Amino acid sequence: MRKNKHVFSALLVLILTLNSCIGISMDINMNTDGSGKINLEYRVSRLLDSLGAFDGNQSMPVIPVGLQDWQRTVDRIPGLKIASFKTAENNNDFVTNLVLNYENPQALVMFLGENSFIDMDKRQLEYIIKSDIEDIDDNLKMMMRNIFIDYNFSISFSASGNSAITIIDKNGNTVIPPSQAEVTSSGRKTSFSINTMDLIELPTILGLRFNW
């Protein structure tokens, strides 16, 4: 039992490095003035939620998904507001759908985090989606692969003009997209999608550059 606790703790720490969820879909829409809307859906496995009560801590959830948690986040970012918030659950997941309005590109960048950058003059947004993660034990990888098999990370971007997507490394250099990923570009909208576990197992830092 003690060994299992160690494995579960390592799993939860890793999940928290991935925006505290295991399936996420984010659609970013930008207006000509730099304002816009973010549609966000993320799924948290009911299995992970049950792990929060592993040590009898039923009142202390591992992964915050509530409106109050999001409101605290939004309150720290000037120009960012919650437009709608809905939650649901099914046999496998807790599902959250969130719509955020951002008044300016700075609010968007603050929401995406310190590894993002925007240049409105160049009409360019960069976002690092895969950071350095320490080596993962093979047994833990196998367990995670079983849990994450049906979960994806996906992000799409659209603006007033035609959009393009480029896969980049940590230095902003163009790299070949991972073979496991699906990259699409059609007119105003472009997107990137990959299985969550495939993303975790990528050997290098990975980022996206959107141009419009």
Domain locations in the chain as residue ranges: 2-211
Max mean pLDDT among 46-55, 75-84, 136-145 falls in: 75-84
| pLDDT of residue 134 exceeding 70 | no
What is the overall mean pLDDT for the chain? 81
Handedness of CA 166, 40, 136, 91 (dihedral sign): negative
CB distance 76 to 103 below 8 Å: no
CB distance 113 to 131 below 8 Å: no
Q: What is the pLDDT of residue 114?
A: 80
The number of helix segments (H) and strand segments (E) in the chain equals: 6, 11
| pLDDT of residue 2 exceeding 50 | no
Q: How confident is the model at residue 55 (pLDDT cuts 50, 70, 90)?
A: very low
Give the pTM: 0.80
Q: How confident is the model at residue 115 (pLDDT cuts 50, 70, 90)?
A: confident
- The label of the residue with tokens 């997107």 reads 191
CB distance 20 to 48 below 8 Å: no
Q: In what order do the strands lie in the sheet with 36-45?
A: 80-89, 93-102, 36-45, 23-30, 152-158, 189-195, 182-186
Q: What is the pLDDT of residue 58?
A: 44
Work out the average pLDDT over 64-83: 88
| pLDDT of residue 65 exceeding 70 | no
Give the Å distances, CA to CA, from 4 to 16, 139, 140, 143, 161. Answer: 18, 11, 11, 12, 51
